[in-house]
Chains A and B, each alone.
Chain A
């Protein structure tokens, strides 16, 4: 969004990276949605002259980008930190092949786990895969570093990783617009000795990797992205990424060595800087990555003995660790009811999890998505969640371990996008090796958690254009599943019956729980009925309250209040539907046995 007539823009880190990629002349970009990386691809798609796509997973996305690079295009792959685990296979060998057109991988770490299952520090991948990694400190630098990464990639013949974190991706700042670079022509060029990684070729390329990293180390000494900001005082800081800002806020006068490239490191520059200060402090989020490598160089420094290695940093934490005398008194937090996220009113997943919540003996092997919220009370219907696709494979392993004891008690639950990401191979394994477990695919026609990205089953491309929609039933049957049942999870009664039948079945079965996400634009526009409570009929049984719908609330009553309202004195309270919040799914009306919930035909 422009805020003046000049070239200055107000952009998030992700928007700035998209603009940077466009300015760098990127021709092909592929990625899988994952917080906090998602908006990069969505934004890049809005520019002319660049092909963008949602891939089914990050490995696919990186391989697509690698192929585009082999054809001479500047190419981009985007993913969240755990996505790079999925893409690690091509990553390590792409370091050997090198590139033709520049290849940049945007990797978004999530310190503090705002929306992630772990807080791994992916700077370690740069070291392990022997790849250069840049790390910007704000949106303006993020944009600049994309352009820089492409020139480095082509100069050094290597993929380059840009590591961002949540507070780069989702921070907005002032960014200057530039010009688009000339987009290189693409062509077929055969260089099998460089691209066919058979052992004989790979051994040759292995040597090239070391030569390239030596050249990168040389460049690191002089590149402007690594810089010393002189200052006063006995303490000097080595820092990078968002942590640089916290050092500047906390110690504006101190000398700072800011690393724009966090791998490989400029050893001489670091050594020279260390010699100018009495005490060298490394301020970095998560692992002691820089600190460990500085110490390996024999440079004395302090870091994680002072600064936490868990969670996000901020300038308060940095001051608290290094200058506690500057911290004034802070009001203590009050104890208040928490407000965790919840499945939306009208969410189709609720009907399915309500059914599972009534089957206490069943182990629900869960997965990554909005539906992981099925773990929360009152539904409390998820017993494990590790990584994308693991619901199916963990369920298979449990069933094999439990044998007869587990029959009718092991269920995997995952979303449609997660199933396509990495659930399909697990299901194939179940068919091949046999199981009694049940797989439930929650098909809400979108990738909801990350903001409703299209996917191979949604029938639309990233740009909203018509695309072939995967037929999930046909796919499951083609994989060899004999029992495939589709249910509408809003019909809670039928769903419970199907769950019972299929879970108790001695064979593998797949239940497809199908109803669109209520937040999809077409669903938001659709005229929906509203449900309301006949308070006179409410007996206070709490069955509807136990669904955990945000539109239903419980009002407790004393015996006197109950009698005054015409209830029995034993009635502990009543439930009421907030008609403004109701999305008209009707699940609560299905579970109410006392006709206390009624449908009203009305536009909500």
Chain B
């Protein structure tokens, strides 16, 4: 496993992307890496595409991932996975939630939601792991933990041990929700090889 890397989170405003990236950042920090994370607030949060860049290593300068340099893409929605194709390289891992959220033009009937669009990634030899994060979250009894289930799935591709992630959940999530989120993390981690 690599000693530095770039993790890109993408999705739609309101899907819990900031919490997922925050949890991942904490796990990386606790594992001893330097970490920088970049988010966009404001206009971008009204149902638009949302992204967070997370970079870790011995010393990180730039808070932004270069095109062609995302080692892992954690996408919370199918279109929002494919939208970030220019950030990927052929050895990237894409962990994508199979949820579809219709963009306005599709909801208005002016465009259609592309079918089988993840094949665009697979055809470029990119490793795509599609997860039904809601089903995973439902299996532990908390639909709102879908974002943490995604982090669990993604953690398979990192050197940081799952125990560190579980400790990071204690640091980043309100106490009363920790247990269910830990279950979601473990179930999400297991879902990749299910």
Contact = CB atoms under 8 A, between A and B. Distances in A.
Contacts of B102: 553
Interface string A270-303: 0000000000000000000000000000000000
B42 A35 contact: yes
Interface in B20-36: 25-26, 29-30, 34-36
Nearest to A546: B108
A174 B171 CA distance: 16
B175 interface: no
A341 B44 contact: yes
B36 A341 contact: no
Contact of A170 (B30, B39, B60, B120): B39
Contacts of A151: none
Contacts of A344: 46-47
B28 to A, nearest CB: 10
B161 interface: no
Interface centre among B38, B48, B104 (most CB of A within 10 A): B104
B41 A553 contact: no
Interface in A535-556: 542, 545, 548, 550, 552-556
Contacts of B43: 35, 114-115, 341, 449
A554 B108 contact: yes
B103 A337 contact: yes
Contacts of B60: 173
Contacts of A319: 66
B86 A339 contact: no
Interface string B67-94: 1110000000001101101101000000
Contact of A332 (B13, B64, B86, B103): B86
B67 to A, nearest CB: 5
Interface in A324-347: 328-334, 336-344
B44 A115 contact: yes
Given A35-B42, A245-B63, A338-B105, 4 more contacts: A39-B41, A166-B40, A336-B82, A553-B106
A60 interface: no
B42 A336 contact: no
By Cβ-Cβ distance, the 3 closest A-B pairs, closest first, are: A115-B42, A35-B42, A341-B46
A545 B108 CA distance: 6
Q: On chain B, which size bracket covers the interface?
A: 35 or more
Interface in B142-164: none
Interface in A452-494: none
B117 to A, nearest CB: 8
B35 to A, nearest CB: 7
A138 B114 CA distance: 39
Contact of A173 (B36, B46, B107): B36
A548 B41 contact: no
Nearest to A3: B29
B35 A314 contact: no
A246 interface: yes
A550 B108 CA distance: 10
B172 interface: yes
B49 interface: yes
Contacts of B61: 244-246, 248-249
A340 B30 contact: no
B122 interface: no
Interface in A25-75: 35-36, 38-39
Contacts of A4: 29-30
B86 A333 contact: yes
B138 interface: no
A373 interface: yes
Nearest to B21: A172
B46 A378 contact: no
Interface in A104-154: 114-115, 138
A370 interface: yes
Given A315-B62, A336-B79, A550-B47, A172 B42 contact: no
Contact of A171 (B42, B63, B80, B82): B63
Contacts of A205: none
Interface centre among B37, B39, B43, B80 (most CB of A within 10 A): B43
Contact of A172 (B13, B37, B66, B68): B37
A92 interface: no
Interface centre among B39, B80, B114, B171 (most CB of A within 10 A): B39
Nearest to B120: A334
A134 B57 CA distance: 28
B47 A249 contact: no
Interface string A553-590: 11110000000000000000100000000000000000
A451 interface: yes
Contact of A548 (B36, B39, B108): B108
Contacts of A532: none
